[in-house]
Amino acid sequence: VPQAFSAIAADARIVFCIARVDPIGRPTSGIIHKHTSTQVWTADDAMKFSVSGGDDAWDSKKYLNIWVCNLFGRNLGYSALPGGVANKDGVVIQFDVFGTIGSQSPFNKGRTATHEIGHWLGLKHIWGDADCGDDGIADTPPQQTYNNGCPSFPHTTTCSINSNGDMFMNFMDFTDDACMYMFSHGQAIKMRSMFAAGGFRNSFLSSQVCDSLQAQGIPLPVDSTPVVSVFSIYPNPATTQVTISCSTQDIIGKVVTIYNVLGKQVLSVKLTSQKNILYITNLSPGMYIAKIGEGKNVTSLRFMKE
């Protein structure tokens, strides 16, 4: 990041994970490969419905849906905006600019997904979709229109407010993937506001679909291993205390370690029974991960402190 913008470059601290449970409770890889007779898709959302040869959205309060398909023309992707129709919620991405297999330079580093998920979290294009437009973010400088390729810094236009010019390396511009590598603090605040109480994406903080069925405390199918230790944590969300329990005595003697979303350890307790109360009054509101055991036998549970 150029020194002129380094002070406002931000880590949004938003992490996604592959779903491990589908909407009806079955284990899943989180990925659906769908055969379709449609050769090319337009931006009319047809790929989001099984009846038109696509695939139906999963619950948009728990899952970020991403449809990867062959889009018409030079369209690399598009996104639904916060507050839109639930069965169309998510992002659509051209197949050869997604992932690492068969992806094409200069859009082969995943930035199309970053850009579209930025829209999914309420961000506008950095030029505000107008000549010298406003994206509503105070710390992104105005620019005349979109940039493409890999401009050299500084890149100034008639709209530039100073010699620093455009923030063309911003994820919400149209530059090549290799030249796109920052959100601003204002953009990070905007995206994170979507997860705040009352925000359009707040429900994701209590989603457990990234966790295995076992981690959620859901009984495994009867034809699985006869004796299974099923861990659970409740209430969730919680305010003053949580209970960690296990269906067997396998939990006794193990240590549960609580981490915040930054990966910092905030609490560690030895478990002495099948039901254990942890007091969390001193924890700040937010999402936490409880890891039980160590090595390859770690069970992870998530909970929200209100």
- From the candidates 45, 89, 116, 173, which is the catalytic residue? 116
**How far is Cα 172 from Cα 118, in angstroms, rounded to an integer?**
7
116 labelled catalytic = yes
**How far is Cα 4 from Cα 112, in angstroms, rounded to an integer?**
25
Q: Which amino acid is at 214?
A: Q
**How far is Cα 273 from Cα 276, in angstroms, rounded to an integer?**
6
Give which of 266, 232, 237 is closest to 248, Cα–Cα: 232
- Strands 66-69 and 91-94: what pairing? parallel
Q: Which amino acid is at 76?
A: L
Q: Are 40 and 64 in contact (CB under 8 A)?
A: no
Burial label, 95 (beta-carbon count in 10 A; 0-12, 13-18, 19+): middle
Beta bridge partners of 41: 71
Q: Are 183 and 9 in contact (CB under 8 A)?
A: yes
Catalytic (active-site) positions: 116
